[in-house]
Structure 1
Amino acid sequence: MKNNKKHYPALSWQGRAINTVGRGMVKPVISRLKFSRRFMKFSQLGFDAVTLALPVPSDVHISRAQVGGVPGEWLITGRRVRSNRVVLYFHGGAYFFGSPRSHRAVTWRLSHYCRAKVLALDYRQPPDWAYPAPLEDAVRAYKALLDTGYSSEHIVFAGDSAGGNLALVTMLRLRELKLPLPSSAVLISPWGDLTCSGDSIRDNADKEPLIPLGALKFVSASYSQGYDPASPMISPVFADFTGLPPLLVQVGSNELLYSDAVRIAEQAEKAGADCQLQVWDRMPHVFHALAAWLPEAGLALQEIGAFVHGHLSDRDRDRHVRARATVVGRLDSAGKG
């Protein structure tokens, strides 16, 4: 068992600026919003439209996917991708917004740094669906990858925020089903505790530049409706991690969810699972999405690449992509081609 905790200092003026803008403008607006079913549906479309403005290089090839009946998209970046490596990505968005389209700023970079194809799932979400629908979709897609011929040794789970939660609970369910687990998992600012009981919920309430506590509690209730939010399959900080593959957990020190990341690492240590915890000083929630402007985000993604290379078999060294995916053109505001 190995459990490492490493701190990364904040070095850039861009990071300071993002925190200032977040606390002064973004968070106050979110705090005043009235969350409802209608607002959740509107947010899904609006977030996709805004994030599609983030640049995607011309050598990123994207194609629509249906894997085990679950929609999503494949992303392949550049010519160094190894054909049997797959990063199965679970997007964040508090289990009510976000999509593969909204997270391309992260997923195309993961393809580049991990030299892997990325399969980003468009799993079912509230308000139309609640737990356990996303978990069912994740398990079905993973089983389909195995049935297609991909080896679990060359599959990596990755996810941010609620997607980090989904990556963890999917591995727990796969363990219950006695299916082979992925080689490793990357958890970016994971939401591990939907009871919202971590110390940083209180300690970082004023430092957190993006997420108000009220919003977090609302979306937790909308996802776990009818189930105990303290269940290990909803809040994996309460789960036994015995037998899980190596984990890389990255989190910003100012995040409302900082203690969720720390507790995940502690649970891994308790269970004898390998875990690297990287704490990025004063970085906002899922700062990786800002890699076009934020130097620390680029460094964090490089760390993910190094972690993935260290845990995938050398047997795929000479396996390269033989065919490229189709390039998706400019999308409309609804995220359709």
Structure 2
Amino acid sequence: MSAAERAAARGMMQKGEAGLPAEAQRAGFDAVFAERPLGADVTLAERTLGGVRALDVRVEGANRAGVILYLHGGGYVVGSARTGANLAAPLSRLSGVPAVSLEYRLAPEHPFPAAIHDALAAYRELVESGQTVLIAADSAGGGLALATLLSARAEGLAMPAGVVLFSPWTDVTLTGPSIDTRGEYDPLFNRPIMEDYAAMYLGGADAADELASPLRADLSGLPPLLVQVGSAEVLLDDALRLVARAAEQEVDVSLDVVAGAPHVFQYFAGFLPEADEALDRAATFIRHRLALVL
């Protein structure tokens, strides 16, 4: 797709407003993402995992062994299992692997580390039930996925077969240069907006805590990672620095950067060819990781 067409995709997005209360942000987010059609081949079913609400994302024909645990984005403040299903469903369809999208608790009502406790509880139940797990996540869900892995490692739980991260937010200290250098280019976020999310999530906790900012953690022993990010986003450096740190610590890691693409550009599947290609690569990664362990 041409640079002009990618610019058109960015133009379909609108930068938020700093300082809005969580309730207003959730309403706006849900208006766009909570009712998106998933396809006639998809059925959602409520369940719990480790005592946490979730949605089984059942795609016809997706019956391979294993399960994708999907952790939605939204700055730890907005989003839901239903919005996560928007990406869990195509990943399940393309990979043939069943998926479950988690309804972890949100800030500011439930600040750090409540979301991590929920994700770890869900992951623990899947592992202890004998499931082979792959984790997929976007944005804040990406940071949550990494924090869940660190917590699982500390408990001695088996690692997942692999992890797919779309535009992960890995550093709530907001020290990545792109937080500022990409603020005008990013059609969704800038520093003030990210500072609001960080403050609500942390609730006074230390932003440098490795579970809040897993970019700062020892990543050794983590499973293979696939990281995808667009160049037109303030979180570009969160992804680039994560990949560099993982490689330095002997973690298998792959990186896809799409020039001119916005935050979690995979949502543009069907409109932006690069989004379709990215989801195809993610599904191939999932199938490959499963084939190595099953």
TM range (shorter): over 0.9
Percentage identity across aligned positions? 36
One-letter code of the match for 1:200? S
1:16 counterpart residue number: 7
- The TM-score with structure 1 as length reference comes to 0.83
Alpha-carbon RMSD across the aligned residues, in angstroms, is: 1.6
Written as runs of structure 1 = structure 2, the 5 A alignment for 1:216-231 is 216-231=194-209
- Residue 49 of structure 1: which of 31, 39, 43 is its match? 31
Instruction: Confirm or deny that 1:291 pairs with 2:269.
Output: yes
One-letter code of the match for 1:303? R
2:234 counterpart residue number: 256
Bigger relative CO (Cα 8 Å, ≥ 6 apart) = 1
Cα pair 2:104 2:119 within 8 Å, conserved: yes
Change (3 A) 1:238 1:125: same
Q: CA deviation at 1:254?
A: 1.5
- Residue 154 of structure 2: which of 161, 172, 176 is its match? 176
Cα distance in 2, alignment partners of residues 106 and 11 from structure 1:
24
SS at 1:292 equivalent: coil
Q: CA deviation at 1:14?
A: 4.0
- Residue 57 of structure 2: which of 61, 68, 75 is its match? 75
SS at 1:102 equivalent: helix
- Residue 211 of structure 1: which of 175, 189, 195 is its match? 189
- Residue 201 of structure 1: which of 159, 179, 187 is its match? 179
1:325 counterpart residue number: none
Q: CA deviation at 1:105?
A: 2.3
User: How many residues of Structure 1 are paired with residues of Structure 2 in the alignment?
Assistant: 294
Q: CA deviation at 1:146?
A: 2.1
Cα pair 1:20 1:209 within 8 Å, conserved: yes
- Listed as ranges, the gaps of 5+ residues in structure 1 are 1-9, 317-337
One-letter code of the match for 1:68? G
Cα distance in 1, alignment partners of residues 115 and 202 from structure 2:
11
Written as runs of structure 1 = structure 2, the 5 A alignment for 1:78-89 is 78-82=60-64, 84-89=65-70
- Residue 19 of structure 2: which of 20, 34, 41 is its match? 34
Larger Rg: 1
1:92 counterpart residue number: 73
1:60 counterpart residue number: 42
Cα distance in 2, alignment partners of residues 251 and 56 from structure 1:
23
Cα distance in 2, alignment partners of residues 273 and 264 from structure 1:
11
1:247 counterpart residue number: 225
Written as runs of structure 1 = structure 2, the 5 A alignment for 1:187-198 is 187-198=165-176
Q: CA deviation at 1:43?
A: 2.3
- Residue 165 of structure 1: which of 143, 151, 157 is its match? 143
1:140 counterpart residue number: 121
Q: CA deviation at 1:13?
A: 5.0
- 1:53-99 Cα offsets, whole Å, 9 max, x none, are 422211112111111110010112221431x3111010000010001
One-letter code of the match for 2:156? K
1:331 counterpart residue number: none
- The TM-score with structure 2 as length reference comes to 0.95
Cα pair 2:161 2:290 within 8 Å, conserved: yes
